[in-house]
């Protein structure tokens, strides 16, 4: 249970507290009921693309077990659930002139209805990395601005039309940096394009990631424009984008490392065009004529195209000046302090350590820089070697509990002491699931999944996260009565 001191601080009225997932990571049933292929289908089943050689054909079998998963949410007492729609389940070939799959529409419509019937708010992501393969084959997918913007807007409009009477919280894209950099720069995510010929026979890491990011922002902005002009007045919802970005802390107080930390943030977060109407100066200097420019008409659509700031964050990096990696802002990341100690507890994921002070610092930075309400849409921790532990040990996920304790305290401090406007907290993830390039070797869930039987087992972290919500909700009711 949370401490008495922590319980005395309340969350704002209407605060959404829940768990998050993504379609390809949990649904499975990749060939069922008319679903088309996404770029992750064949990619994840290609030898060498995932650590364990496994793909998302079954995942957590949530396409079949969706009612069980909703009952799991209900038993946890959460009041909000963030999930994503699979574009290729709704429009199997993806395009604006391609047939709509009514069975896919029905699945998500029934899912939304069941959430609402159980008093759970649906928080919907339109795109979580699973582009229809047909669009990649047809015209290069995210590399083709004219086609992808139109097809994505068409898909978004269809979702607003079919689900918007019940869905009041929309996210256009999940983590555009990951789509662009990991899919078209480093080549470790689908579609796996890269200048590294050991990974891909196609791609240009110097240009394609920046083009893809440019096109993503335009697609996002056109979807937001469509929602605001044709749906918002009647449906009354909110729409925005969710962005990955971790706190960048200078390695020490030297001027070069302080500047480097800002450069790392400029590149990792990179959404000034949406919120400020311009690119960071450092990105302009670093990329020169490789940085795509918007026309005046495009700037008018992109700037201001989010009702809020969607925040996915997991860790803090200490930043040193130097290095040639443009995707890190030509800086070097480390978890090792100047005195040789580690920043925090090491996760199974090599890029992740605990450091709640960084979470609070990032909340403050984003609030002061962009002045938009913040929805924390992902935050979580992978316990080291959890996948190889006996079940009883894995269920006592002490390191993840520690992580969520720090995150909860950081949110409450940011709200009550710093004045940051925070509207949600979605822990990643409801379930252990397919963790992209890491396959099933890494577990982020608050619920343990036995992949052989698809049996779900609540972990200690689930009990902590839901007990905090229950305690704060009870106190809110007492104070409002």
Q: What's the CA gap between 431 and 69, in Å, rounded?
A: 9
Sequence-distant (≥ 6) Cβ neighbours of residue 27 within 8 angstroms: 56, 59, 62, 63, 86, 89
User: What are the backbone dihedrals phi and psi of residue 71, each rounded to the nearest 5 degrees, phi first?
Assistant: -65, -30
Is residue 352 within 8 A of residue 286, CB to CB? The reply is: no
Q: What's the CA gap between 28 and 35, in Å, rounded?
A: 11
Per-residue model confidence as pLDDT tens for the chain (481 residues): 444 444 445 888 899 999 999 999 999 999 999 999 999 999 999 999 999 999 999 999 999 999 999 999 999 999 999 999 999 999 999 999 999 999 999 999 999 999 999 999 999 999 999 999 999 999 999 999 999 999 999 999 999 999 999 999 999 999 999 999 999 999 999 999 999 999 999 999 999 999 999 999 999 999 999 999 999 999 999 999 999 999 999 999 999 999 999 999 999 998 999 999 999 999 999 999 999 999 999 999 999 999 999 999 999 999 999 999 999 999 999 999 999 999 999 999 999 999 999 999 999 999 999 999 999 999 999 999 999 999 999 999 999 999 999 999 999 999 999 999 999 999 999 999 999 999 999 999 999 999 999 999 999 999 999 998 877 765 554 445 4
Question: HEC profile for 15-63?
Answer: CEEEEECCHHHHCCCCCCCCCCCEHHHHHHCCCCCCCCCCCCCCCCCCC
- Local structure of residue 166 (DSSP, 8 states): T
- Residue 378 falls in the annotated catalytic set: yes
C-alpha angle 141-63-352 in degrees, rounded to nearest 5: 65
Is residue 456 within 8 A of residue 447, CB to CB? The reply is: yes
Q: What is the CA radius of gyration of the chain?
A: 21
- Look up residue 157 and give its two tokens: 């409009």
Compute CA distances 74 → 67, 111, 275, whole Å: 10, 14, 36
Nearest Cα residue to 433 out of 61, 49, 71: 61
Q: What's the CA gap between 117 and 297, in Å, rounded?
A: 43
- Sole residue written with tokens 């969520």: 404
Nearest Cα residue to 317 out of 289, 296, 337, 300: 337
Whether cis (ω within 30° of 0) applies to the bond prior to 191 is yes
Nearest Cα residue to 189 out of 416, 434, 2, 399: 434
User: SS3 for 256?
Assistant: helix
Nearest Cα residue to 468 out of 94, 13, 18: 18
Show contacts of 198-206: CB within 8 Å, 24+ apart.
206/290
Sequence-distant (≥ 6) Cβ neighbours of residue 58 within 8 angstroms: 28, 29, 451
Nearest Cα residue to 400 out of 438, 429, 359: 429
Compute CA distances 95 → 7, 32, 133, 143, 372, whole Å: 50, 20, 11, 15, 33
The pLDDT value recorded for residue 471 is: 77
Is residue 267 within 8 A of residue 327, CB to CB? The reply is: yes
Domains of the chain, first to last: 4-480 (3.20.20.80)
Provide the terminal-to-terminal Cα distance of the chain, rounded to the nearest Å: 23
Q: Residue 419, Cβ neighbours under 10 Å: how many?
A: 10
User: SS3 for 277?
Assistant: coil
Would you put residue 272 in left (φ > 0), alpha (ψ -120 to 50) or beta? alpha
Q: What's the CA gap between 446 and 427, in Å, rounded?
A: 8
Q: What's the CA gap between 68 and 79, in Å, rounded?
A: 16
Sequence-distant (≥ 6) Cβ neighbours of residue 462 within 8 angstroms: 76, 446, 447
Compute CA distances 20 → 17, 81, 426, whole Å: 10, 6, 6
- Look up residue 39 and give its two tokens: 């770029």
H or E, element range at 243: strand 238-244
Q: One of 153, 216, 378, 438 is an active-site residue; which one?
A: 378
Going by DSSP bridges, is the β-strand pair 247-250/316-321 parallel, antiparallel, or unpaired? Answer: parallel
Q: What's the CA gap between 59 and 451, in Å, rounded?
A: 8
Strands (E), 71-182: 80-84, 121-127, 169-174
- Local structure of residue 93 (DSSP, 8 states): T
Q: What's the CA gap between 146 and 148, in Å, rounded?
A: 6
């Amino acid at each position: 249970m949370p401490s008495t001191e922590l319980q005395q601080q309340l969350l704002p009225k209407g605060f959404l507290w829940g768990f998050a997932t993504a379609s390809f990571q949990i649904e499975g049933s990749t060939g069922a009921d008319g679903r088309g292929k996404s770029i992750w289908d064949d990619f994840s089943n290609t030898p060498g693309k995932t650590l364990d050689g496994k793909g998302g054909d079954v995942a957590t079998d949530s396409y079949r077990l969706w009612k069980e998963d909703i009952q799991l949410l209900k038993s946890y007492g959460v009041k909000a659930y963030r999930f994503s729609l699979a574009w290729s389940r709704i429009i199997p070939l993806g395009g604006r002139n391609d047939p709509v799959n009514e069975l896919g529409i029905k699945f998500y419509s029934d899912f939304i209805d069941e959430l609402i019937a159980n008093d759970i708010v649906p928080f919907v992501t339109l795109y979580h990395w699973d582009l229809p393969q047909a669009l990649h084959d047809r015209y290069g997918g995210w590399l083709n601005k004219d086609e992808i913007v139109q097809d994505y807007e068409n898909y978004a409009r269809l979702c607003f039309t079919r689900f918007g009477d019940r869905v009041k919280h929309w996210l256009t894209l999940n983590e555009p940096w990951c789509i662009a950099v990991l899919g078209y720069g480093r080549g470790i995510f689908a579609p796996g394009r890269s200048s590294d010929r050991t990974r891909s026979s196609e791609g240009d890491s110097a240009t394609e990631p920046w083009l893809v990011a440019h096109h993503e922002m335009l697609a996002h902005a056109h979807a937001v424009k469509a929602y605001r002009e044709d749906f918002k007045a009647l449906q009354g919802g909110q729409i925005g984008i969710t962005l990955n970005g971790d706190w960048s802390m200078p390695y020490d107080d030297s001027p070069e490392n302080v500047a480097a930390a800002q450069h790392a943030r400029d590149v990792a977060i990179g959404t000034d065009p949406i919120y400020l109407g311009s690119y960071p100066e450092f990105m302009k200097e670093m990329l020169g004529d490789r940085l795509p420019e918007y026309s005046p008409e495009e700037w008018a659509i992109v700037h201001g195209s989010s009702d809020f700031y969607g925040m996915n964050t997991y860790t803090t990096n200490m930043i040193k000046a130097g290095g040639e990696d443009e995707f890190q802002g030509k800086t070097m990341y480390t978890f090792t302090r100047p005195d040789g100690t580690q920043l925090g507890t090491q996760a199974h994921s090599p890029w992740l350590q605990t450091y709640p002070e960084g979470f609070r610092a990032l909340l403050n930075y984003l609030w002061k820089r962009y002045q938009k309400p913040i929805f924390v849409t992902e935050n979580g921790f992978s316990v080291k070697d959890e996948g190889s532990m006996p079940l009883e040990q894995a269920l006592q996920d002490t390191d993840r509990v520690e992580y969520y304790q720090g995150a909860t305290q950081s949110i409450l401090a940011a709200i009550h002491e710093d004045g940051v406007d925070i509207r949600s907290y979605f822990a990643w993830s409801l379930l252990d699931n397919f963790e992209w390039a890491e396959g099933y070797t890494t577990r982020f869930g608050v619920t343990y999944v036995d992949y052989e039987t698809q049996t779900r087992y609540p972990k200690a972290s689930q009990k902590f996260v839901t007990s905090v919500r229950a305690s704060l909700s009870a106190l809110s009711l007492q104070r409002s009565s």
